[in-house]
Amino acid sequence: MKKKKTGALKRKMLFGMLLILIPVLGVVTLLFWQTRSALKEEYIRTAHHDLREVSRNVDEKVDEVYAMSDVYAGTDEFEDYAETIYSKRSSSYKKERLSVFMSRY
């Protein structure tokens, strides 16, 4: 008889533990899912912000390149320097001409 009572007691304890653990597990799962969704939304928002920042930086650099290109395109000296045959001139002359050109702009 004692074996039947201990078996019934074990079942009652197991049932009681399951009644406590299942709702706790459900709440933890729900909170985990909400946190995951919130983190995902925040990650997407941060990624969009970072992409806009990168795009803005690239646009600024491209504008600078276009501005420099416009400056160099309008000078005849740069065209003359670019079309020079380098093998006939010494390296010191080339360095001097380049520094003169760069000092003007």
Q: Are 56 and 48 in contact (CB under 8 A)?
A: no
Kindly state the tokens that stand for 90: 């010494």
Give the list of residues 6+ apart from residue 72 with CB closer than 8 angstroms, or none: 78, 105
- Predicted TM-score (pTM) of the model is 0.45
pLDDT band at 1 (very low <50, low <70, confident <90, very high): very low
* Residue 28 CA, distance from chain mean position: 31
Q: Same structural domain for residues 64 and 47?
A: yes
pLDDT at 50 over 90: yes
Same-domain check for residues 34 and 60:
yes
pLDDT per residue as tens digits for the range 5-34: 668 888 899 999 999 999 999 999 999 999
What percentage of the chain reaches a pLDDT higher than 90? 48
Largest CA distance in the chain: 115
Q: Domain check: are 48 and 87 in the same one?
A: no
CA quadruple 21, 27, 28, 31: dihedral, nearest 10: 180
The residue among 17, 25, 24, 102 whose CA lies nearest residue 68 is 102
Which domain, by its residues, includes 102?
76-105
Place of tokens 């997407």: 44
Is 67 found in the same domain as 25? yes
